[in-house]
Each structure stands twice: as structure tokens, then as C-alpha cells.
Structure 1
Amino acid sequence: MEFQTKYITSEIKLSCYEDKLFKTEVVFDNHMLIWFISGETKIIEANKEHVFNAGDIFLIPRNQLATIINYPKDGLPHKTVVMHLSAKRLRDFYADIEVKHKVQVSQQILSFSHHPLLKSCLASLIPYFDLQETFPEHIAALKINEAINILRFIDPEIDNVLSDFREPGKIDLVDFMEKNYMFNMPLEKFGYLMGRSLSTFNRDFRKAFNRSPQRWLTQKRLELAHYQLVEKHKKPVEVYMESGFEDLSHFSFAFKKEFGYAPSTLVK
């Protein structure tokens, strides 16, 4: 079965996937509050991995690079309720709230697993997915505001994340790319996250690395894949998903072209 999504509003959805796995590499424009009903998700960030299962609740901040791999588990589909916390909705919420922002705002995934208040809030949305008529906007606003208030009650520091509406500023290109090359993002998105237009990104990249971004990214991803196969003893099907390749056949072809042998020869 293909990936299925049911929206009750543009900001609240129920997603369900029953196939073997679903992989995507994303940078969300909105903060994403997610409650797991069933299945398993592995989220790979630049310096950390997370595994979430049934009952887990977590927040993925906007503009956060991540590889997301979703699996069915225990005979049940991968099923989640997802709430988009949009900038517009959050601006309205924080319009009359004064927040003293920290200079450095954490962009790491935040876990609120099994918290009864959040679980109750998100579980209460389930019946609405069976509505035939349009879901009333004022009720959607109430549910989203309820979730934001619960997050603020659970985590006093969450205001620094939710009320930060700044766009990415110009940052060190070399440091960012060395930490995030494994994410298969369009070059425009890499540029945006470093505060650069595509043309400026390409110019600065060639100046820093003395080669094209595409060639450098392929080389770095192949080096990472080789390390994971040899040192971590991972299987090729795991490696291609975690090192930025589109699919297994493309990965195998590029790997053999670079090293002279297929990745399967390194599997013990």
C-alpha cells in the first residue's frame, strides 16, 4: 500500500504507511509535533540518531536537516498524527507574549514521549479524521493552541524555539557542509540554510573546496558509506539510506565506480 495522508486541516494530518519502509530527507518549513500510534521511525541528524515507537511524542524544529526512515512494526502500519505549527499560527499565539530569546537557539529534536497531556490532546483528534464535512477552523485553532500551551507547560524553554521567526543567516559554509553532507537536499536548500542564494552558494563552495558541490558531495557520501560497511558492519541497504543516496542501485553503481568493487563484497 502506498503512503496515505488524511488532512482535517492543512495543519493537522493523519499519516499511514503499510509497505516495508518509507524514506525521506527533509527540511520542514514548520515545526512538526508528531505522536506515534504504531510503527517505528528512525531519524538521523548530523550528530545524532533517534528511534521512535508507539506512544512516543516529539517535536522536529523547522529548518532542521534530517533523514527519516519509517517502518511498519509488529504487523501494524506506520501511523502518526502530525500537527504543523506554522509561523503564522505561532506569530498569532505569541503576539502578546514577551519572550527574551537566547542568542543560540537549539534546533535539536525534542522528545515528550508518553506525556499524558500531549497524548490526550493529540489522541482527541482521531475522531475528526472520519468527518465528511469541513473541519471548523476555530476548532482547529483551539486544538493547536492547546498543544502549544501544553508544550510551554512541559518545557519552559520551548518559547525560545517556537517564537524564533528569524530566517537562517549567513554561516560558515565549510563547517556546515562537513556536518550535513549526508543529507540528500537540493543545492538551493543547502544555500538557504546557510543564508545564501544558489549562485552565491556555488561560488563560495568552489572557492572553499576547489570542486563542484555535486562531485564533493558524492565523494564524501561514498567515504561515509565505505566507513559504515567496514567499521560499523552495516548492510548496503542500510548504508545507502543513511549516506545520502537515492536508491540501492545508484549507490552500488557509484560505489563500484569509486572503489573498484561492489559494496556487497564488504559484508561479513
Structure 2
Amino acid sequence: MGHQAYYIHPDLKLSSFDDKFYKADVLFEHHLLVWFISGETKIVQGDKVHWFGAGDILLFPRNQLVTVINYPKDGLPHKSVVMHLTKSRLTGFYAKNKVDVKQMQPPKFHTFDQHPLLKSCLASLIPYFELKESLPDTIASIKIEEAITILRMIDPNIDHLLANFDEPGKLSLVDFMEQNYMFNMSMDKFGYLTGRSLTTFKRDFKKVFQTTPQKWLMDKRLELAHYQIREKKRKPSEVYLEAGFENLSHFGYAFRKRYGYAPTEIVG
């Protein structure tokens, strides 16, 4: 059946994956508060890997690159409730709740395990999903404001994330690309995250790396995969997603073209 997403409100959805797994490199426009109901989730952020299971609650910051891989487990689909904490809604909230914001560099996602108050807040949305009817904005606003209030009670420092409405500033291309080359993002998004227009991003990239972004990204991803297979003794099927490839056959073709042999032929 694949992926199903049912919205009871533009900012509230129930997401379900029935396939063997679902992988995506994601960049969220808004903060997302996620409650995992069933299944298992693997999140890769930089050189760190995190696993989450049924009952865990996670806050994804906006404008952060992560790889998300969702797996069904124990005969159940991967299912989660997702709440969008949009800029407009947070702006309204903090207009009534003034705070002094400190810069967080870089923002990271927050985990809340199975906190009973957050769980109760998000679980209260399930009957609305079961009714399969749209949720009035007045009720949605109450639910979202409740969640924000609970987050602030659990973690007083969360204001520095939620009340920071700055857009990405101009970053070092070398530092940013070396940390994020494995993410499958459009050139537009790479440009946005480094504080550049697409034209400026391509121009600056060529000046710094003496090649195109597409060629540089392919070379870096293949080098990472080669290292993981040869030095870490991992299988091609275990590394191609983390290296930024969408499917195993395309990875194998690109690898052979670059190195002259298949990834399965590597001898450590």
C-alpha cells in the first residue's frame, strides 16, 4: 500500500508506511512534533545515527538536513502523528509570550522519550483521525498551543529554538558541503541553506571546488560508500542509502563506472 497521509487539518496528520522501508532526505519548512505510534525510525544527522520506536516523541527543527528511514515492525506499519509548528503560529504564540532568544548553533532535534503529558496531548488527536472529518481551526489551535506549552514546561530552553525566526545566513560552502553531501537535496535547497540564490550557489561552488556541484556530490558519495564497504566491512545494501543514493542498482552502476569494478568485488 506504500505511504498514506491523512490530514484532519493542514498542521495535523496521521502518517503510515506499509512498505519494507521508506527512506527520504528531508528538510522541513516548519518545526515538526512527531509521536511514533508503531514501527521503527532511523535518523541520520551528520555522522550520528539515532533509532526511535513506538511511543517515542521527537521534535524536528526546521531547516535541518536529516535522512529518515521508516520501517514497519512486529507486523505493524510504521505509523506516526505529526504536528506542524508553523512560523505564523509560533509568531502569534510568542507575541503573547515574550522571551529573549539566544542563538543555537546549529539547532538539533529534541527527544522526549515517552513523556506522559506530550503523549496524552498527541494521543487525544487519534479520535479525530478515526472520525475522518476535518478539524476546525479553533480546536487545532488549542491542541497545538497545548503542545507548545507542554514543550516549554519540559524544556525551558526550547524557546530559543521555537521563537527563533531567523532565516539561514551565508555559510562557508566548504564546511557545509563536507558535512551534508550525503543528503539528496536539490541545488535550490543547498543554496538556500547556505544563504545563497541558486545562481550564486553554483558560482561560489565552482570557485571553491573547481567543479560542478553534481560531479562533486557524486564523487564524495562514492568515496564514502567505498570507505564503508572496504574499511568498515559493510555490505553495499547497507551503505547505499546512507551515502545518498536512491536505489541499489543506480549505486552499483555509478560505483562500477567510477572504480571499474562492482562494490561486491571489493576485497578488504
TM-score between both structures, scaled by the size of structure 2: 0.97
Query: For residue 64 of structure 1, what is the amino acid of its counterpart?
Result: Q
Q: Which residue of 1 aligns with 2:83?
A: 83
Helix, strand or coil: the match of 1:26?
Answer: strand
Give the percent of matched residue pairs that are identical in Structure 1 and Structure 2: 61
Q: Which residue of 2 aligns with 1:136?
A: 136
Q: Which residue of 2 aligns with 1:226?
A: 226
CA–CA distance in structure 1, aligned partners of residues 133 and 252 of structure 2: 49
CA–CA distance in structure 2, aligned partners of residues 96 and 226 of structure 1: 53
Q: After TM superposition, where is structure 1 displaced by more than 4 Å over at least 4 residues in a row?
A: none
1:8 equivalent in alignment to 2:8: yes
Point out where structure 2 has 5 or more consecutive residues left out of the alignment.
Answer: none
1:57-113 Cα deviation digits (max 9, x unpaired): 011100010111110011111000010100011011111222212133441111001
- Within a 5 Å distance, the mapping from 1:24-173 to structure 2 comes to 24-173=24-173
Point out where structure 1 has 5 or more consecutive residues left out of the alignment.
Answer: none
CA–CA distance in structure 2, aligned partners of residues 24 and 104 of structure 1: 25
Q: CA deviation at 1:130?
A: 2.0
Query: For residue 64 of structure 2, what is the amino acid of its counterpart?
Result: Q
TM-score between both structures, scaled by the size of structure 1: 0.97
Q: Which residue of 2 aligns with 1:236?
A: 236
Tell me: CA distance 1:59–1:132, structure 2 relative to 1, closer, same or farther (3 Å).
Answer: closer
CA–CA distance in structure 2, aligned partners of residues 95 and 238 of structure 1: 47
Helix, strand or coil: the match of 1:185?
Answer: coil
Q: Which residue of 1 aligns with 2:204?
A: 204
Conserved? CA contact 1:35–1:122, under 8 Å: yes
1:148-203 Cα deviation digits (max 9, x unpaired): 00000000100000011111011111110011000010011000001000000001
Helix, strand or coil: the match of 2:99?
Answer: coil
Count, aligned residues? 268
Q: Which residue of 1 aligns with 2:247?
A: 247
Conserved? CA contact 1:234–1:267, under 8 Å: no
Conserved? CA contact 1:182–1:242, under 8 Å: yes
CA–CA distance in structure 2, aligned partners of residues 133 and 56 of structure 1: 26
